[in-house]
């Protein structure tokens, strides 16, 4: 488990992480989302002891990273796919990591096969494509068979098959009871992969909730109802404090209430329904609503 309490990091006048508190639990893929400059990578670096916090604490399995003995056996991380010596082969890179943490050499062969790099293991890291470098970084994270795994943008540079493979890997690791913490800007991929989401902006926590709850909270998630008595239904829903917009003579959209509530109100009023369905927002739409006030590096309008 990863525990973050009151974590802050200041660089001069810039507060990169601002009083952040999180509990990331086993058996879950937690997606870490936020605009560029939100503090995601800094938070991961603080958890891994690569930066010293200005305030607060970050622990893995109850210990700060620097107190974990043989840390690769506890936590595996991929923060920078290019963080390898360019003249060293992928195999040699992993062997060095294994020796430093008392990991058997045969484990190097196993993880290379797992990530699909067995045939390229002797190539120098500097000659690998970004996608192959990502696979090597994932192999390094898996090397110690850890209970906690952290990945910063792991699908960058991967082709569609590679992206699908990473998605399956994340899910399988969580299904084994491991804690999986992954940042990404690919909302469609997070919607398919994550169970839980942590969203930050300008270093502060915006949302810490299950994926379904984040999407359900979007103003674009609504209930579509079709009835020959749509006017009566609209009046009944409005009386119950539900926002309603007519889409046509026999159709309306209701926001701010779950589908069960809309159906119950229609039943209580004796209103016949021909259709009742949920129009679900995408994670991208929900994310944009959550972070609209936290974008620091937004681009201007596109000109035709």
The C-alpha atoms of residue 201 and residue 292 are separated, in whole angstroms, by 9
CA 279 to CA 259: how far, in whole Å?
A: 10
Q: What per-residue confidence (pLDDT) applies to 248?
A: 87
Q: Where are the domains of the chain?
A: 2-209, 222-279
pLDDT recorded at residue 157: 87
Tokens for 233, please give them.
């239904």
* Rg from Cα positions in the chain: 24
Instruction: List, as one string, the DSSP characters of 241-259.
Output: T-EEEEEETTEEEEESS-H
Q: Residues in the chain with pLDDT < 70?
A: 296-304
User: For residue range 22-65, what is the model confidence (pLDDT) as tens digits?
Assistant: 999 999 999 999 999 999 999 999 999 999 999 999 999 999 99
Q: What is the pLDDT of residue 294?
A: 78
Taking the domain 2-209, which CATH number applies? 3.40.50.300
Q: What is the pLDDT of residue 132?
A: 92
Q: Does domain 222-279 have CATH number 1.10.238?
A: no
């Amino acid at each position: 488990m990863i525990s973050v309490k009151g974590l802050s990091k200041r660089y001069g006048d810039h507060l990169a992480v601002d009083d952040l508190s999180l509990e990331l639990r086993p058996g879950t893929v937690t997606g870490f989302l936020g605009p560029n400059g939100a503090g995601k990578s800094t938070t991961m670096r603080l958890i891994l002891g690569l930066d010293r916090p200005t305030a607060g604490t970050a622990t893995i399995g109850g210990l700060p990273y620097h107190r974990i003995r043989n840390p690769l056996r506890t936590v595996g991380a991929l923060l920078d796919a290019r963080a390898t010596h360019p003249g060293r082969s992928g195999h040699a890179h992993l062997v060095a990591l294994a020796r430093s943490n008392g990991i058997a050499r045969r484990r190097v062969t196993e993880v290379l096969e797992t990530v699909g790099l067995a045939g390229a293991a002797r190539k120098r890291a500097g000659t690998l494509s970004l996608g192959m470098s990502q696979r090597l970084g994932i192999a390094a994270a898996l090397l110690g068979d850890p209970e906690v795994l952290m990945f910063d943008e792991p699908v960058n540079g991967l082709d569609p098959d590679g992206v699908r493979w990473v998605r399956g890997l994340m899910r399988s690791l969580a299904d084994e009871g491991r804690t999986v913490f992954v940042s990404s800007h690919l909302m469609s991929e997070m919607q398919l992969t994550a169970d839980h989401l942590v969203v930050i902006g300008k270093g502060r926590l915006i949302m810490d909730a299950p994926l379904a709850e984040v999407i359900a909270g979007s103003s674009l998630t609504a209930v579509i109802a079709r009835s020959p008595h749509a006017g009566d239904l609209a009046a009944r829903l409005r009386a119950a404090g539900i926002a309603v917009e007519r889409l046509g003579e026999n159709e309306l959209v209701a926001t701010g209430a779950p589908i069960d509530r809309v159906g119950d109100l229609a039943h209580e009023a004796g209103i016949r329904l021909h259709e009742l369905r949920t129009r679900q927002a995408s994670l991208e739409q929900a994310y944009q609503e959550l972070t609209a006030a936290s974008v620091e590096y937004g681009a201007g309008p596109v000109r035709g």
